[in-house]
Amino acid sequence: MKVSSARRKELFFQTTTSSLLFIYLFYVIALILADAIYPKLGDLWRAFRSEEMLFAIKLSIITSLVTTFISALIAIPSAYALSRFRFPLPTLIDTILDLPIVLPPLVAGISILVFFDTALGRWIEKLGIHFVHTTYGIILAQFTIAAAFAVRACKAAFDDVSPRYEDVARSLGCSRPLAFWKVTLPLAKNGIIAGIIMTWARAMGEFAPIIIVAGATPLKTEVLPIAIFMNLSIGNIEIALAATLILVFISFITLLLFKLLGGKLYLR
């Protein structure tokens, strides 16, 4: 049976695009497998149990959870306002809000550091709230990037809920705050949870702003990405790879949960 020219072109196109997809897929898998099989199992286990690694894990979890909580407190109402209300210069507002996402993380870290050398920054420091070279600096550095991501992810969740549901609730006697609480928030719940999960993962993996603002002090400001950098720079591959594998595992699980909950990674 002869295959038509159009069908041959379609098959060729399908085969080419699919091949490129799987080439890249296998490349990513190969990178992850290389991390897992490079060190000896005994050395990797000792690295996982080391004091430095346990401290880095604990500090990463605590700071990222605090960052995520603060980000959610700001992101959920902010995202609702962006989704439902009309502001002057909306493109400018969107652009400014997206800047922390698209700026190189190094630039974000330098900007935070410079801010604390301004009059306002020095006044904050005089109040006794110290961010430079402290754990608070880790949280601030994480928050600067993660909060912007949380706002965008939550806005996508609210955009997927038709305003007509709120209009119906308000026509039945609900105030706007009550309609938000009783109608919109439950309907957007899965997308918001997905966004918060991804915000936590983003905070866990932040590196450049943290090392600039909080420094890289062992057993003080040593979160997992800092542990990777410090140990790799002195040739301690086992601990660097142990921290790498933890972050790869966290990233995989959070991405999986994000997708299962219907989260969307694109910007609106």
pLDDT at 2: 56
Does 74 fall in a domain?
yes
Could you give the count of Cα atoms lying within 13 Å of 162 in the half-sphere of its Cβ? 5
71: domain CATH number? Answer: 1.10.3720.10
Regarding whether 97 and 17 lie in a shared domain, the answer is no
39 Cβ contact partners less than 8 Å away, ≥ 6 residues apart: 47, 237, 238, 241, 242
Angstrom distance (rounded) from CA 78 to CA 85 = 10
pLDDT class for 264, splitting at 50, 70, 90? low
Regarding whether 141 and 31 lie in a shared domain, the answer is no
Per-residue pLDDT of 120-137, as tens digits, reads 888 988 888 889 889 999
Per-residue pLDDT of 63-111, as tens digits, reads 999 999 999 999 999 999 998 888 888 889 888 888 888 888 889 999 9
Is the sign of the CA dihedral 221, 146, 198, 265 positive or negative?
Answer: negative
Q: Is the pLDDT of residue 44 over 50?
A: yes
pLDDT at 72: 94
Regarding whether 158 and 252 lie in a shared domain, the answer is yes
Angstrom distance (rounded) from CA 165 to CA 163 = 5
pLDDT class for 22, splitting at 50, 70, 90? very high
Regarding whether 168 and 94 lie in a shared domain, the answer is yes
Angstrom distance (rounded) from CA 252 to CA 114 = 35
pLDDT at 64: 93
Contact between 200 and 254 under an 8 Å Cβ cutoff? The reply is yes
Does 267 fall in a domain?
no
Q: Is the pLDDT of residue 1 over 80?
A: no
- How many domains is the chain built from? 2
- Percent share of the chain, pLDDT over 70: 96
E strand residue ranges, 51-93: none
Is the sign of the CA dihedral 100, 102, 105, 109 positive or negative?
Answer: negative
Regarding whether 142 and 81 lie in a shared domain, the answer is yes
* Largest pairwise CA distance in the chain: 84
Q: Is the pLDDT of residue 37 over 90?
A: no
Regarding whether 17 and 146 lie in a shared domain, the answer is no
Regarding whether 231 and 152 lie in a shared domain, the answer is yes
Angstrom distance (rounded) from CA 181 to CA 131 = 35
Q: Which domain holds residue 5?
A: 1-37
pLDDT at 267: 39
Angstrom distance (rounded) from CA 114 to CA 7 = 61
pLDDT class for 25, splitting at 50, 70, 90? very high
Regarding whether 113 and 19 lie in a shared domain, the answer is no
Regarding whether 98 and 32 lie in a shared domain, the answer is no
Regarding whether 132 and 91 lie in a shared domain, the answer is yes
Is the sign of the CA dihedral 114, 120, 123, 128 positive or negative?
Answer: negative
The radius of gyration of the chain from alpha carbons, rounded to an integer in Å, stands at 23
